[in-house]
Each structure stands twice: as C-alpha cells, then as structure tokens.
Amino acid sequence: MILLALESSADSSSVAIWQDAKILAHQFVEAKYGHAERIVMQAEAVLRQAKIKISDIDYFIGGRGPGSFTGIRTCLAAVIGFSIVADTPCFGINGLSALGFACSTSLKNTDIQNEKLVVLAISDTRRGSFYCQEFKAENLIPSDIEDLTLPKLYEKIKALAKSGFLVRICGALSEDTLKCDDTLEKPELVHYYRYSLAATDIAHYAAWQIENGRELSPATPLYLAPPNINQPKKPLS
C-alpha cells in the first residue's frame, strides 16, 4: 500500500509518501503563506524523490483541520485533484488526531509508557481558546475534540495530574502558554512537547486506520466553529 499525504492547516506545508510502514520521501516548508502556490510542486518533488508514479498511489490523504480555513481548503483541493487525475480514492484526516497519535506511538516503547499515561493534543483556535483531544494509553482511540479556554485547559491538566496520570501535552504552542507548574500538586507528572503537525503524521495515522479496518473521513474540511467573518465598516460601492 502506498499513500501520498498532504498537510497545510497551519504555518507550514508538507507532503509525504508512505509505503509499508516507512516514509519513502517527504518535504516540509515552514511558511505562513504561499501554500497554494507550493504544495503541488512539493508533491511532484517527493514523487520524483521516491521514484513513485502518481498511478502507483493507492490513496491520497489530506489534513482536514482543525486549522487555517485557507490552508485546509488548499490541501484538500490538491488531494481531490490528484485523486481525479489518478482515478484513486482520497480521504481526509483529523490533524489533531494525527498529532496525538504521533505523540502516543512515539511514547509507546519508552519507559514512561504505562496505563496511567494520557496524551493531550492541543491547537490554538486563535479565538482565545484551545482545541484539545485526549488519547489514553490503553488504546489509540481519541476522545471528542473539546474547545477549552486557557483556564479550563489548566483545570483539565491539573485534574489528570491530581489523579496520578502522566500527562504529555503536544502541539505547536509556546511552552509558556501552558505553564501551570506553579499550581500543580504533582508537576513532575506533566511534560510538554512542542510539535508541529506534518504530512508524515497524517500518513502514519491514515495507514494505521486503513490497516485496522477503520472508516476514513471524506476529503472535506473539519470545521469546528463557523468562519470569523467581519462585515465591512463601509458599504461596498
């Protein structure tokens, strides 16, 4: 099975080719703008690097958010376009789930892995709150996504630590944003990993879902809140 995965829901664009549990080629560019001009060229570059033809791809996978409205649509438009050209199925992956899955699997074989481990995948809504999705050690099935203010997120972290859970927080946030150690009863149980979602994570999570017979989502945007559209101050003439 060969997957071509694309991701551009935040301040980067990336493409990866996955085959038989390995990433054959990938490209990651950190930039706030220019995803639409760049992501197809990135896909063409990794196909050449991996010496894979577009007709060899079994599934085209795109990150469907949450994240930038424009970035998500850019990614999925490219995925759908490749799918049409190759006459091959395409699907969308929840980026927050892929992020939590990546962190959970990376901790799976470490000495901190146990039944009391909880991974929280976090992303900034840019509306004064944070999306949060929880993974427990006993399985890799994510919880529903919560939209939490920073105080509510602090409360969640504190409650888990107080109950004796090892809390691992992952996301592309500054460590100071989630610094609540001074009010934690057991600060040694909480650790933060700064991690930017990439197409490699999208590919690994999609492959795991396919191999475990789980139904994938369509290549449509995952919107957890309505667009923030401001009306013009003056009537348009």
In a domain, 227, yes or no: no
- Same domain? 52 vs 125: no
> Which residues are CB-contacts of 33 (< 8 A; sequence separation ≥ 6)?
none
pLDDT in tens, 115-125: 788 999 999 88
Strand bridging mode 190-194 / 166-171:
parallel
Indicate whether 202 and 90 sit together in one domain: yes
Give the pair of three-digit tokens for residue 168: 């691992």
Q: Which residue segment(s) compose the domain that 148 sits in?
A: 96-194
Annotate 57-104 with DSSP letters as a single string: -SEEEEE--SS-HHHHHHHHHHHHHHHHHHT--EEEE-HHHHHHHHHH
Span of 73-77, 104-108, 127-131 with lowest mean pLDDT: 104-108
65 plus 135 within the same structural domain: no
116 & 146 share domain: yes
Cβ neighbourhood burial of 197 (10 Å; 0-12, 13-18, 19+): buried
| Nearest Cα residue to 222 out of 63, 8, 65, 6 | 65
The answer to whether residues 204 and 175 belong to one domain is no
**What's the whole-number mean pLDDT along residues 1-26?**
95
User: Do both 82 and 122 map to the same domain?
Assistant: no
CB 21 within 8 A of CB 200: no
Report whether the peptide linkage leading into residue 226 is cis, meaning its omega lies within 30 degrees of zero. Answer: no
On whether residue 217 sits in a domain, the answer given is no
Angle among Cα 172, 174, 176 to the nearest 5 degrees reads: 150
Are residues 64 and 111 both part of a single domain? no
Structural domain total, the chain: 2
- Quote the mean pLDDT of the chain: 87
* In-domain check, residue 49: yes
Look at residue 85 in the predicted model and tell me its pLDDT.
Answer: 95
In the predicted model, is pLDDT for residue 26 greater than 60?
yes
Percent of the chain with pLDDT over 90: 59
> β-strand 190-194 against 22-30: which pairing, if any?
unpaired
Same domain, 86 and 101: no
CB 39 within 8 Å of CB 81 = no
Whether residue 71 lies inside any domain: the answer is yes
Can you give the CATH number for the domain in which 170 is found?
A: 3.30.420
Residues 183 and 103 in one domain: yes
- The residue behind tokens 């994938």 is 216
63 and 114 in a common domain: no
Tell me: do 85 and 128 sit in the same domain.
no
**42 with 118, same domain?**
no
Question: How far, in whole angstroms, is CA 69 from its chain's centroid?
Answer: 14
Quickly state the pLDDT bin for 104 (edges 50, 70, 90).
confident
CATH number of the domain that residue 19 is part of: 3.30.420.40
What 8-state DSSP symbol labels residue 213? T
pLDDT per residue as tens digits for the range 60-95: 999 999 988 899 999 999 999 999 999 999 999 999
C-alpha 70 chain-centroid distance = 16
pLDDT in tens, 132-142: 999 886 677 88
pLDDT, residue 176, reads 64
Question: How confident is residue 175, by pLDDT bands cut at 50, 70 and 90?
Answer: low
Q: What is the pTM of this model?
A: 0.89
Q: Which residue has the tokens 């990938």?
A: 26
The torsion angles phi and psi of 88, rounded to 5 degrees, stand at: -130, 145
Asked if residue 232 is part of any domain, the answer here is: no
- Please state, for a pLDDT cut of 70, what percent of the chain lies above it: 86
Tell me, yes or no, whether 235 lies in a domain: no
Asked whether residue 224 is domain-assigned, the answer is no
Q: Which residue has the higher pLDDT, 200 or 33?
A: 200
- Classify residue 229: in a domain, yes or no: no
Q: Is pLDDT above 70 for 234?
A: no
